[in-house]
Amino acid sequence: MARLHDMLDSQTRKVFPRGHTQALDETLRAEVDARIRGYITLANVSFAICLQVPGWDARLRGALAGKAHLQRWYLQFNATLLRGNQEHFLLQTVGHEVAHLVVWAMYGVRVKPHGAEWKAVMRVFGLATRATHDYDVSALRRARAPFVYRCACPGELYLGGLRHQRVARGVTYFCRRCHTRIAFSHQCA
């Protein structure tokens, strides 16, 4: 088991620089590091395994709070959500993502991401077994796509720039509800 993680760790440094966390101040980086190390130590003692501390960064964007890259033995966190929900994030989200790595190391890929094995690890960590967060992500949402299209249904459909360009080049899109061809109406101001 240790050899597998040695291999993963060496690959991790090439793909994801270890500890790359430009978006966080030094104190917060140290706190995340300490939490990750604490959860890994707890897993090693509780399950009699020998896992290395994973690499991590805080460059995740959008509404995702965290993501575990299992085969790379690497974690990513959303710096914006971490700063806005620091106490809960450090406790719950960091533990949540470390639990995914622990489950993968113990059981492989043939278990559900938030299944019984993951829930058991979360209970060992003393954390709630929720699969999703309830952080405010309204400021993180992207603006509505700027190109308005219509079909036979009432209302409007919004397409982004890439799909709008494809329509201009002759690609045809159909409404999922009424199955009629959509047509360009106007661009949002």
Best CA proximity match to 175, nearest among 150, 148, 147: 150
Catalytic residue selected from 26, 31, 87, 97 = 97
Q: Tokens 């430009």 correspond to what residue?
A: 22
Concerning whether 87 is annotated as a catalytic residue, the answer is: no
Residue (of 39, 17, 21, 43) closest to 30 by Cα position: 21
Instruction: Spell out the residues 6+ positions from residue 139 whose beta carbon is closer than 8 angstroms to its own.
Output: 80
Cα–Cα distance between 28 and 85 in angstroms, integer? 12
Contacts (Cβ under 8 Å, ≥6 apart) of 32 = 21, 24, 56, 58, 77, 82, 90, 94
Residue positions annotated with a catalytic role: 97
